Amino acid sequence: VTSNAFSDARRYIQLMLITLAGGAMYPLIYLRQNFEVSILESFDITITQLGQCYSLLGVMFVVTYIPSGWLADRISPRWLISVSLILTAAIGVWFSTMPGFRELKIIFFGWGIATGLTFWAAMIKGIAVIARPSEQG
């Protein structure tokens, strides 16, 4: 086996890990897609209040996407992705305690930071770093 084969295997493993990170993070944030009625009943909130939480998340994404590119150029994508996963999971544990509406807004704000500021650009940068120039699109 050549060293190039090891290099390819390592790159594909890294790509798989980045994909798994996104695949683990976003379903938690978008539980609404499958469990909207359960969320409304469990948290004792209205559809309007849930919409406010997701609107806050969307605003945070808009606000954090540009600085996230700047951040990904200065800090290792591996570190940023790790921080994102830890923060998202920790906030998810808080979400699982079924807090009140005020705390839900803080949770969605936090998820906006953890996924918009520290994850998205780091994921794109991580993929760009492991791809060969001939594989760039």
Report the pLDDT value the prediction gives residue 6, as an integer from 0 to 100: 56
Can you give the chain as a three-state secondary structure string? CCHHHHHHHHHHHHHHHHHHHHHHHHHHHCCHHHHHHHHHHHHCCCHHHHHHHHHHHHHHHHHHHHHHHHHHHHCCHHHHHHHHHHHHHHHHHHHCCCCCHHHHHHHHHHHHHHHHHCCHHHHHHHHHHHCCHHHCC
pLDDT one-digit tens code per residue, 90-102: 999 999 999 999 9
Q: What mean pLDDT is predicted for residues 105-121? A: 96
Report the pLDDT value the prediction gives residue 58, as an integer from 0 to 100: 96
Report the pLDDT value the prediction gives residue 134, as an integer from 0 to 100: 81
Q: What mean pLDDT is predicted for residues 88-113? A: 97
Report the pLDDT value the prediction gives residue 1, as an integer from 0 to 100: 46
